[in-house]
């Protein structure tokens, strides 16, 4: 397989390794919800290159691919942002969005 096609999977694995057992359980609880609340910060695990996103009023986000900010500790969320920023050469510092 082409190494560039593996990169998103490797990054997603690195993100998931940052989560504690308790956070993984919390993420599972959020996944069971029908949708995020308006304005909730999240990462789409299928499209990490998009960075932190916010749930819009009319937007429908597939919950099976969501890592909601509210499901993890602030320290974990910050570590995830640092990890994602490091994957994008020349990208600005992680935003304060999430």
Q: How many residues does the chain have?
A: 98
Q: Which residues contact 27 (CB under 8 A, 6 or more apart)?
A: 19, 67, 68, 71, 72
> How many structural domains compose the chain?
1
- DSSP output for 14-55: HHHHTS-HHHHHHHHHHHHSS-PPTT-EEEETT-GGG-SEE-
93 within domain boundaries: no
Query: Predicted confidence band at 20 (pLDDT cuts at 50, 70, 90)?
Result: confident
The pTM (predicted TM-score) of the whole model is 0.68
97 within domain boundaries: no
- The domain containing residue 42 runs over which residues? 3-86
CB 40 within 8 A of CB 56: no
Residue-wise pLDDT for 26-78, tens only, equals 776 655 565 788 888 999 888 888 889 988 866 666 677 788 898 899 999 99
């Amino acid at each position: 397989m082409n190494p560039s096609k593996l990169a998103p999977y490797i990054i997603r694995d690195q993100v998931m390794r940052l989560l504690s057992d308790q956070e993984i359980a919390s993420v599972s609880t959020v996944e069971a919800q029908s949708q995020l609340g308006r304005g909730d910060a999240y990462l789409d695990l299928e499209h990490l290159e998009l960075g932190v996103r916010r749930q819009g009023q009319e937007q429908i986000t597939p919950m099976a691919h969501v890592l909601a900010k509210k499901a993890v500790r602030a320290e974990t969320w910050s570590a995830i942002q640092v990890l994602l920023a490091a994957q994008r050469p020349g990208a600005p510092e992680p935003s304060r969005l999430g």
